[in-house]
Structure 1
Amino acid sequence: MRIGCPAEIKNREYRVGLTPESAKELVAHGHEVWIEAGAGHGIGAFDSEYTAGGAKVVDTAEEIFAGCEMIVKVKEPQAQERAMLREGQLLYTYLHLAPDPAQTKDLVDSGATCIAYETVTGPNGALPLLKPMSQVAGRMSIQAGANALEKAHGGRGVLLGGVPGVMPGKVVVIGGGVVGFNAAQMAAGMGADTVIMDRNPDVLEKVGTHFEARASTRFSSKANLEEAVAEADLVIGAVLVVGAAAPKLVTREMLGSMKPGAVLVDVAIDQGGCFETSKPTTHDDPTYMVDGIVHYCVANMPGAVSRTSTYALNNVTLPHALRIADMGWKEAMRADPHLAQGLNVHAGRVTYPAVATELGYDLLPIEKAIA
């Protein structure tokens, strides 16, 4: 199979779909790999490293989209990239379709087969291709929030860890999954007064056992959430409904009870955000104010730590890429039901139930698509 990896073009997106090591592995399996010139520069990987491993470096993304059977990326294809997709082509990347009707329509219209990293499953309902970026984003959310809390950036002027004789800042993490767990680790490690909220008693027990006295847990009822948000200096939105739009848990009305200069960091923004007042921002202009509250809603947070993020991502995406290339996507999905859950669009039809429901498409069941 001929596999292509274009440079990412989203704002401040420095990650790359294939590392030189991943490209070399695909070549060793007998596949042809095309890399757009400069695609790896954001992680410190040069074209010569790709060619040393047997990959071919081409000048433009247009060559890759025109000449390759499978496209491997990191972020969802932008409009100009979607226009280059064609019927029968494979796209393997993050998609986050439920809150993005324009992208979904373009992918459906393209006739391409689109596999989303974020819906590939693992044992016990895990999301192994989403997990490493959730770990990165969770940890970064505290860094970003701490920075936004500085007075010069519009925040309250609070140091999360405090100092002797002065109380630490209060961090409320909504959601105790991978993002929330990693955010709480960072917040508690900095010495912040940390609260983790979730509706699942098993999750609360797990995180409570792990953190013991370093962080507290609280059931995420509406009343408890309103009270916790009102007391917080920093709120981390870490809620995920797999493949679907995130629920709006913090309303605009609740902002009125918050401390002026408090900060909201919405890690769920890729899925539409879990704060009513959230809208996607970029690394160039990461924050905005609503009712005196700082909002940080960067949609590709891990892109800022591109080398760490790319290698962590390739560790989990490469095995599936090899399987798809070696076996063909249908056979690979028949052999691996977890990989099959990654199929979101095929031949002009939506195949993922949550996306079809959210955006009003007739569903083509995955089982029929791979039959």
Structure 2
Amino acid sequence: MFSRLFDALQGGSGVGAAVRRRQVDAEVPNFAEADDVRAAFFSSALQHAKSSYDAERDGYVWGRTLRPSYALQLHPLNTVQTYTQKKEFVWVGLTAGPWFVGVVVLQFNYFAAFSVSLYNVESEESWRATSRVPLPGPWLGGQWVPNEKGEFGPTSAGHRVEFSAPLSTHRARLCFAGRSVQVDATGVVAQQLPNGKSAGAQRYEVHAVATLPEEFLGVVFPLGPRRAALVSKVAAAPLQSPLKLRLGGTEWSGDGYLSMDYTRGLLRRETRWHWASATAPAGYGFHLSEGAYDVDNKSVENTFYAGGRAVLLETRVEFHKVTAAAKVWTLTGDGIQLRFRHADAHDAALHVGVVKTDLYHAWGTFDGSIRVEGAMYKFDRVAGVLEDHYALW
């Protein structure tokens, strides 16, 4: 336990460089658009990197690649940075038959949480639950466990993300094996009724193993000279075996796909973003966003996935509420026409001292189309997620 605590307090860098006790590593506005940083980001350096952080030159390898094979390492952090700046979170979406399952683990060190959602598109029934752990330090709630080499990230074989906490019914584990990821989660959820009330609690169990596609998005985004957001995005990753879902006394299994958003880093002190993701039963999907990691007024994260390939969507995507209650949204861009209808959501606010977060994480269905390389991909009541997020953290 003490070795894990020490690793966490040092920021989980997995490297032996010295930690500067008073280092601040401030963010720099529009840092990614400086000429030299832009040139580095759009170069091929990250394609050949073994790590997002180069310990020998004490610097990050800025970039974006569709064939990430590097470890998602941070530079050595001091204790203050670990507790106040470092953020780690992962979302996994499982699409199989009528079911859409969402699992979220996050660790901010002063706050940790786990969320799960189960949505049946055919019956339009939704179940959800959230477990929060305030002021846990790095040893409770979400755990980012490095592999034996001290490495993190989706391609780091032996790396794990786990959640467990005292008094919580929920347990979750994501195990990364290099080119695959296994997802296990269990706990208690409540069904959400149309009148806004919750029905009786039911136990759930989820098990899935997916093969990472040949191509997916990896980003080391520059927020300052020594401040990085490390992001990996996956969609339409085929399950190696049928999804296993138990809900109350009912068991279901079926073939499907995995989507994932994996992020760690020293994020901006104040952040705003919109983000959406879905995978169609035919095996294609997307990640679309605005506001978080933009260059030239468009997100570097916009990607489309099909048949093991990923394609960068070089367009600005705009998110608009059609209704004041945010039950319907439109997403538009060059070749992108989507409409999202809310089914249910984790709608949370945390306002404590200097920390303020407002999160709307909804699941529902997408309709519309995305044109990619001359081909039109249709979405007809495809389950997915949409997020409207603001944080001062």
TM-score scaled to structure 1, two decimals?
0.27
Name the structure with the higher strand share.
2
Where is the helix percentage greater, Structure 1 or Structure 2?
Answer: 1
Larger radius of gyration: 1
Which structure is richer in relative contact order (CA contacts within 8 A, separation 6 or more)?
1
